[in-house]
Structures are given as C-alpha cells and as structure tokens.
Amino acid sequence: MDKKYILKALRPLKLKIFFHRAIEVFLYALTATGIISLVLVLASMLYVIPFVRHKMLVIIGVGLYIALNVSLFFIPAKKQLIMTADSLGLKERIITAWYLMGDNSEVAMLQRQDTKRALESTNLASAYRIRVDKRLYITAACLVITAFLLTFIPGRVHGDTVIRESLIQKMKESEKQIEDEIKSQKQKNPEISDEQMEQLKEALEKLKGEFRKAKSEEDALKALAQMENQLDNLKRQDPLRGLKTLENVLNNSQLTRDIAEALAEKDGESLREALEKLAEEPDNDEKIKELAEMLKQAAMNMGDNSMLSDALQNLAASAGSGEISGNELVQSLMELIQQAEENAAGQQDFENALGDVGNALGNARRSISAVDRRVASGNTGRMQRQPGESGNNNGSDEGGQQPGNNSGSQGGNQNRNQAGNEGGGMAQNGSSGNNQQMGGESGGGAGEGSTGTDMGYSDGEQSGGRRAPGEWKEEDYKRIYVPEHLGGEGNEITLSGRVLDSGSSTYSEADGAPVKKGAMVPYREVLSEYRTEAVQSMEKQDIPSGMKELVKSYFSSLD
C-alpha cells in the first residue's frame, strides 16, 4: 500500500467533502445575494429601478456563479482529507500509515495491512454526513423569498417604474426591428455598397448607445430624432451630384481639364489615364497648391454632401500643408473618385434602404411615444387616474398609430378626433423620403415654445465661432422634438427649410394647444404682481445692489 493507494481510496470521500463545502459556499452566496436583492427591492420602492425582479435574478445568478468558482478553491487538501477519513472511524490509521510510508519494520507493515483492511471495510463516502447549519438554510431562503415577495408590493414610484420598464421594452423592440431592417437591406437592395451598409450600421450603433443612456421617453425620442437626422444627411450625400460639382470645378483649370472630361464621359479608362498623366507631372508646389485649392473649392460647393466633401477637404488640407506629395495627392484623388463612383452606382438602392430604415424609425418613434399613454390608459392595469380625469380609451395602439376614439374629459373638456384633419396638418418629413401624412388633431400643436427653432435640442451657434463666411454648420437636430403629453395630445410641428445663417424658415403656430389650464399664463397677467414682488425684494435688500439696475431694466423692457 502506497500513498497513491490511499489517495485513490479516499477519492469518493474527497468528492463528498467538496460537495459539502460547495453547498455551504452556495448558501453563503445565496445569503449575500439575498441581502443585496432585499436592499435593491427596498430601494426600488423609493427610486425608479426598472425590472427589479430581473435584476434580482441576475444578482442571484451572478452570486451563485461566483460561488461555483470559489468552491473550486475549497477542494480538500490531502491533510484535510486524511484527517476527515480518520475521524470517520479509522482512528488515525491513515495518518499513521502516511507517516510510516518509508518504514519497512514488521510493525509498520502490520499497521499498513491493518489500514488497508480498514479502508476496504469502510465506506467513507457514506459515513461522511453532509450537515449544514439549518440557520444558514433558513436565513438564505427567508432573504430571497422576502425580497421576491416585496417586489409585488407597489412602492412610491411604482407608476414611474412601470413606465420606465415599458419604455425600455419598447426601445429594445425598436432596436431589434431597426437592426433587422438594416440587415435585410443587402438582400433587398443588392447594389448598396459595403460602405453604405457600414454607414447604416454606424447610425444604428449610435442609436443603441443613445438608447442605453435614455432615462425617459423624451431621451428615447431624442435618440430616434438624431438617427433620423443622420439618415437625412446620408440621403443628401448624392455622390453623383458631388462628382458633377467636382467635374465643374476641375473643368476650370487647364491642369485638370482632362480629368473633368473623363468624369463627364464617365469613362473610367480615360479618367485613370488623365490621373496618371497628372501624376507623371514633376512635383511642383504651385501645381499642387492649385489642385488643393480646386479640391477645397469643390468641397465647399458640394454643400451637405459631407462624405465626399469631407474627404476632399481633408485631401486639400493635407496637400496644402505639404503633408503629401503630388503623386500621393493624385493617387488619393483617384481612390476617392472610384469610391464615389461605386457609391453612386448603388445610390438608388441606398436611398431605398434609407427609406425602409426611416420607416422603421418612424414606427419606433410612434411606438415609444405611445408608451406613457398606454401605461396611463390602464394597459398595465396599475396606473391610477388623476382626480377629475374621467373617460375611456377606445381603440388600439398599433404601430404607433392611434385609430379609434378617445373620448372623455381631462381637467376641462378636450375633444379629440384623430380622424379629423382640421387645423394645421403635419407633414412628417421621414428620412426615407416617403412622406408620411399624419392626421392632425384639431387644436393640436405643442403650443407656444414649440415653435422655436429647435426646442433647445440643437447645439446652437456659438457666438464668436470660427465659421468663415459662406461656410455652413449643420445643427445636430433639425427635427423639433414635440412633447406629446404637454397636458394632452397635440400636433407635431415641422419646420421647413434649413437652419443656416441665411434664408428663411417657416413655422406653424398651434393655437389652442391642449396645455393644462394654469400651466401657461399670458405674462401681462402676472407682470404687475412680479414687478411689485421685485420692488419689495429690492427694498428689503434681498437683491444685491449691483443687480438692481438689471432687474429694473428687465421690467422696463417688459413694459
């Protein structure tokens, strides 16, 4: 009998000890995760924490996974194993045999024989009893069950939590639909180039990022507006128009006229020859600068064709600063033109794809904007109506459209008829190019404030910015976010025109917007009261003396 024999004989016991320890570690982990879950559930009663049950399960799952890994470190060591085996009736036979392993005396051999006999006649694994402290079982079970049951008790922010959960759910669904739509575009529109597909995917990734950050319906709609805007930009990037502009500019110079002609003829071979001829010309700073200047001019003339214009501008800047040689400039230009031609070939398909994705975005927007209403109308069966609010909600919310009839009163009287198309109709300018006519509600509109240029969602123009005359800067959001629940339903307002330094823009003013009474009051009704208050404050020295003039001038200007 050697050490290997002993260890082999002890293997079943080893497994059982390991199992025992793993159970204990699991129970400790369950207790710990139970405490964390309980704290989380209690916090969810005070703060908006969506999907608390799901989070609880994740916490417990992670805890148990960690426990599984930790328990691997609790495989009993040899000494521990021998100690345990000896304590199961072997009376230190194994530890003595282990110590006598090199001893060949008669008594040592007798001892080993005796140990072997004892090992063979004892079922160590069944002799080892797995006993876990009952208090540990009970504590772990109580914590987890209590935490789980508490999730069914509505807390202070239950309504908000339901809305947030619904919103997250909708965002995920929308994300999936848009992603599927984008993925299917390659089959639907085979001419679409890889780069264009990449642009769509890039826009989707940005949307996903924004959705992850979104805390409210407003944030989610803002993210969708951003993507729609991005799709609009992509649509405007017509490579054919860009190439035509480039052709016009290049035609103005003797140096590049051949290239312009080749572009006009759409003759790839001639274009390559013309560019090669240009490349063969000896490096001349003046020629390079001339070419760079022309490229810059072409980029500016392209306006919002940002992809090609950006590339040309970068190329022009590199050439102008001497970072690249004439040969490199010509080579880059050739690649750029080829890419543009490739994109131009698939432009029709790309526009179709943009239209499909735009439709998906529109559906997503309607779906998300309906969340609050759906929850409030009792789809979840948990929201309570506000006092004084009565009526019923008929119809269905499918795809964000709301056919049907909403009758009743809210605060005062607001009859809404979605079928009617009175007042200012709303033309929703979908990025797909498919203008989708939405029925306007009578008296719709976002009311005052929503008729501004961008409702505060654009970066705005920084005063003192370094924009050169004639240069343009595009706003991040040209679409105006329309608050749909400002005291009731309203029409969407869309500005037509482009936000630039010059030009005109039009807007429609929504009279009688369903704003709750008291929420907005004509300033003349409150001016005198506010002025009196201000005067009193100034007399009581509540306002710093330096600011008094400012206050006075403010009220003077209001008069």
Partner 1 sequence: MVQTDRESFEKVLETVSRIEAEVSRHMIGQKEVIRQVIICMLAGGNVLLEGMPGLGKTRLVNILGKVMGLQFSRIQFTPDLMPADVTGTNIIDREEGGQGMFKFQPGPIFSNIVLADEINRATPKTQSAMLQAMQEKTVTIANTTYELPTPFFVLATQNPIEMEGTYPLPEAQMDRFLFKLNVPSPGFDELKGIINLTTKNTEETVEKVTNAEEIIKIQKAAREIPIAEPVLDYAIRIVMATRPDDAASPEPVKKYVRYGSSPRGAQAVISTARIRALLCGRYNVSFEDIQTVAYPSLRHRIFVNFDAVSDNITPDMIIDGIIKDVKTYQ
Chain positions contacting partner 1, by CB under 8 A: 79, 83, 86, 91-93, 95-100, 103, 105-111, 114-115
The CB-of-51 to partner 1 minimum distance in angstroms stands at 50
CA distance 461 to 148: 52
The CB-of-154 to partner 1 minimum distance in angstroms stands at 54
- Of 57 and 95, which CB lies nearer to partner 1 in the complex structure? 95
Q: Token pair for residue 554?
A: 């403010």
The CB-of-29 to partner 1 minimum distance in angstroms stands at 28
The CB-of-99 to partner 1 minimum distance in angstroms stands at 5
Long-range contacts of 261-269 (CB under 8 A, 24+ apart): 263/337, 266/341, 268/341
- Of 3 and 183, which CB lies nearer to partner 1 in the complex structure? 3
The CB-of-8 to partner 1 minimum distance in angstroms stands at 20
- Of 85 and 312, which CB lies nearer to partner 1 in the complex structure? 85
- Of 87 and 325, which CB lies nearer to partner 1 in the complex structure? 87
503 — alpha (psi -120 to 50), left (phi > 0) or beta?
Answer: left
Q: Token pair for residue 521?
A: 């009051």
- Of 89 and 209, which CB lies nearer to partner 1 in the complex structure? 89
- Of 107 and 468, which CB lies nearer to partner 1 in the complex structure? 107
Long-range contacts of 519-525 (CB under 8 A, 24+ apart): 519/486, 519/487, 520/447, 520/448, 523/558
- Of 49 and 83, which CB lies nearer to partner 1 in the complex structure? 83
CA distance 131 to 128: 9
Burial class, 106, CB count within 10 angstroms (exposed 0-12 / middle 13-18 / buried 19+) = exposed
CA distance 423 to 417: 12
Strand partners, 496: 506
The CB-of-150 to partner 1 minimum distance in angstroms stands at 44
The CB-of-114 to partner 1 minimum distance in angstroms stands at 5
Are 370 and 402 in contact by the 8 Å Cβ rule? The answer is: yes
Nearest in space to 448 (alpha carbons), one of 509, 493, 494, 524? 509
The CB-of-80 to partner 1 minimum distance in angstroms stands at 9
Strand partners, 406: 393, 416
- Of 85 and 311, which CB lies nearer to partner 1 in the complex structure? 85
Q: Token pair for residue 478?
A: 């040209």
CA distance 185 to 480: 28
